[in-house]
Every structure is written in C-alpha cells, then in structure tokens.
Amino acid sequence: METPKKALITGITGQDGSYLAELLLQKGYEVHGIVRRSSQFNTGRIDHLYVDSHDPRARLFLHYGDLTDGSRLVTLLEKVQPAEVYNLAAQSHVRVSFDEPEFTGLSTGVGSTRLLEAIRMIGLECRYYQASSSEMFGATPPPQNEATPFWPRSPYGAAKVYAYWMTRNYREAYGMFATNGILFNHESPRRGETFVTRKISMAVANIVAGKQDYLYMGNLDAVRDWGYAKDYVEAMWMMLQADKAEDFVVATGTAYTVKDFLQFAFEHVNLDWEKYVRFDERYLRPTEVDSLIGDASKARDVLGWTPKVLPPELAKLMVDADMSTIDLRTKLPAQL
Ligand code: NAP
Ligand code: F7E
C-alpha cells in the first residue's frame, strides 16, 4: 500500500481548518492538527472526523501546541515530517484585534514567523501555505488583486501584512515553497458566531423560534465579497499543488453590503429585517474597512479555481443550517 502524504494544519479546530481536514482526508492524506489546550474540549468542528488513534483506520492525529510556543513547533514538525503545512491559526477577529493588539501581533503575525523558522531550522522539505487576508488591502479601493497595495486598518490587518511579507521573504531568501492565499471573507454554517454573517443567520433562526427579539449590529454599509468556506479550502490545496509557489487572491468578485446580507437571510424566512435590527455602537470599529471586492482571475487562470456558491445562496444555506440545529442549542450566544 502507498504511504499517505502527510499534512500539518495549524488552526484545525477553526472554520477553515475543519473543512480543509475533511478535504485532505477525502484525498487520502494523513492529517495532523495542532490544537490549543483549553479547559473544555474545543474540537467540536472536527469531532465527526476523529477516529481513535488506536484504531488502524485512524488518519487524523491531533497534537497540543500553540503558535506562541516556538520550541513546540520545532518538536512537532520534527516528529510529524509533513509534506504540506497549512498555517491557518490566528486570532482572526478584526474587532477583537483592537482590544488585543499585542496578542494578535504575537499569534497572527509572529506566530507565522515561528512556524517558518521552525521549518527552516530543521531543514524540512515541505510546501507551506499562509492564510493571508483581504483585510491587508484595508482602505485601498476595490477591485483588489495580487498587485494591489496594502493599507491595513486594524491590528489584525497589520499582523497579516507582516506574516505575508515573512512568507515571501522565506520564499525569496531560502527558496522555500511558501505561498500566500489572499482570501476574501468566506463563511459557512461553521463560521464563528461573532462574525457578521453567522451572527445574522443565528439571529434569524432564534427569532423564528421565538428565542430572540432583536439583533444588535454596527455598520450596515460595509461592502464585502462573501464566499463559501468549503470552496475556499479547495483553493488552498490547489495552491500547494501548483508548479511554483506564488500568491493568489481568492474571491467571488461579488459586492454586497451587510444590509444586503440581512435582507437575504431574513427574506428567506419571510421576515422584514428592518423590524428586528437595532444599532449598537459597540460593534463599530475605530477604523473600518469600507469595501472589499476581489479579482480572482489569477486563481482562475493558473489554478483553474472558481467559486461555486455566491452570497444570496450562502445566506440561505447558513439560515437553513441554523434553523435545523436550533433545538440543540440551550442558550443564546453572547452578543459579542
Ligand atoms: P477561526 O475559525 O477563527 O479559526 C482560527 C483557528 O486558529 C482556531 O483553530 C484557533 O483555535 C486557532 N488559534 C488561534 N490562536 C492560536 C494560537 N495562538 N496557536 C494555535 N492556534 C491558534 O478562523 P477561520 O475563519 O477558520 O480562518 C482561518 C485562517 O484564515 C485564519 O488565519 C484567518 O485569519 C484567515 N482568514 C480568514 C478569512 C475568513 O473570512 N474566514 C479570510 C481571510 C483569512 P481555537 O479553536 O482553540 O480558538
Ligand atoms: O465583519 C460589519 C463590520 O467581523 C464584516 C475575518 O474572517 O474577514 C473577516 O473580517 C463587516 C465589517 O468580518 C457587525 O464592521 C456590522 O465591516 O464578519 P466580520 P471582517 O471584519 O470583514 C476577513 C477577510 C478576515 O481575514 C478576518 O479574519 O460587518 N458589522 N455589524 C459587523 N461585524 C460583526 N462582526 N458584528 C456586528 O454586529
């Protein structure tokens, strides 16, 4: 039997990590994931993939680790010897990054350098994917592509710009196969509950079930290019199969406001969003990113990647998923 290819995913417990693990397992990989130790299990998004490691069929293996702990990254890489490393771990919430700028820099920014340096130190021959973000474009007007200058508007965006350049630097300085996927917003039923699309889809489900009266929100005029996370992890994998390491924008090219998304989600259950949504300045950011609309023609032309799900359908599938699990939730999410 052929030895399976090994991949290591940081951030495997997150939205993208869980879809990527699914994809790689389907493709026959042996998947290793780094999990942070917490006082409660934090593996809810990947539990359905887990087979006890004593079982000979097990192909998903989890290891404790943290991007702020460089020596652990060295020992893990040495032990696992992955052919592909996907660095998805980050403090990924833009609003929270204003509250925790230092931690965001240490994990989202310097964490990437720790991983790249660990790979270099042990001389591991592997392909490296860095989860870069459209937030790096910040205030630069759309459409944004690989040549668009960065103008980050948050500690999160600034940390991602640093990680982007470190990835390029390791590629140019040491000849590493290190690539940046510059992904625009992507969502799913597994999206964290405090990101805007999921906050909306959960609120719709809660309102229909009579568990919530109002939805408190911030800036409804921001324009985003929302895609489906399941489509986007395929682009990550394609980037590491390419002939050479390059950077790629991944986006749908569509532009909708937060108001539009509210309308798609509420209309799906025949409700008028304006009757339920109220303003709370807590959800405003000190500096906002007004408009992100990606031009992913390079990913289409070089990798053959195209998105399958676009925002109106995305809103509906997220609402449907939250409606179908509403009875399993015992309490409302905190309005963070
Ligand atoms: P997510 O759901 O917030 O998941 C983040 C993951 O990182 C979680 O597994 C989290 O672990 C882990 N993590 C956080 N800090 C860590 C640390 N110090 N050490 C180790 N692990 C740590 O994010 P996502 O939406 O899947 O996004 C994946 C990546 O793509 C992130 O880097 C994000 O910044 C980037 N990105 C996302 C989007 C998007 O629209 N989703 C767009 C562009 C780029 P816990 O489960 O323990 O918290
Ligand atoms: O906000 C506005 C908010 O938090 C989208 C991350 O995955 O994508 C994500 O960052 C917009 C913003 O995502 C609320 O002001 C209004 O304009 O869902 P979000 P984000 O900040 O775009 C990028 C590409 C990443 O890389 C990040 O990791 O919605 N908005 N009212 C609100 N946002 C939230 N969260 N909550 C509100 O109540």
Q: Please name which of 174, 194, 54, 57 lies closest in space to residue 116, comparing C-alpha atoms.
A: 174
Within 10 angstroms of residue 3's Cβ, the number of other Cβ atoms is: 6
> What is the average pLDDT across 16-32?
98
Pocket (CB within 6 angstroms of ligand 2): 92, 94-95, 133-135, 184-185, 194-196, 199, 217-219, 222, 224, 258, 283, 285, 288
Would you place residue 2 in the very low, low, confident or very high pLDDT band (cuts 50, 70, 90)? confident
Contact criterion met (CB below 8 Å) for 45 and 15: yes
**CATH tag, 6-191+226-253+293-307:** 3.40.50.720
Task: Please spell the DSSP secondary structure of 55-73, one letter per residue.
Answer: STT--EEEEE--TT-HHHH
Amino acid at site 30 = E
Domain ranges of the chain: 6-191+226-253+293-307
Q: Whose CA is nearest to atom 2 of ligand 2?
A: 219
Query: Of all helices (H) and strands (E), which one includes residue 30?
Result: strand 30-35
Q: Which residues are catalytic?
A: 133, 135, 156
Ligand 1 atom at minimal distance to the Cα of residue 190: 2
At residue 19, the pLDDT reads: 98
- 27: tokens are 């493709």
Best mutation site among 180, 196, 215 for ligand 2, i.e. most ligand atoms within 8 A of its Cβ?
Answer: 196
> What is the average pLDDT across 60-78?
98
Best mutation site among 32, 37, 46, 88 for ligand 1, i.e. most ligand atoms within 8 A of its Cβ?
Answer: 88
pTM over 0.85: yes
Contacts by 78-82 with C-beta closer than 8 Å and gap 24+? 78/122, 78/124, 80/6, 80/8, 80/32, 81/6, 81/124, 82/6, 82/7, 82/8, 82/32, 82/124, 82/126
Pocket (CB within 6 angstroms of ligand 1): 10-11, 13-17, 34, 36, 42, 66-68, 88-92, 107, 111, 131, 133, 183, 185-186, 192
Q: Please name which of 2, 65, 31 lies closest in space to residue 233, comparing C-alpha atoms.
A: 31
Q: Whose CA is nearest to atom 28 of ligand 1?
A: 88
Cα separation, 123 vs 7, in Å, equals 16
> What is the average pLDDT across 222-230?
98
pLDDT in tens, 206-221: 999 999 999 999 999 9
CA of 131 to the centre of ligand 1 (A): 9
Would you place residue 331 in the very low, low, confident or very high pLDDT band (cuts 50, 70, 90)? low
Max CA separation in the chain (angstroms):
61
Mean pLDDT of the chain: 96
At residue 335, the pLDDT reads: 57
Cα separation, 52 vs 40, in Å, equals 19
CA of 138 to the centre of ligand 2 (A): 12
pLDDT in tens, 248-288: 999 999 999 999 999 999 999 999 999 999 999 999 999 99
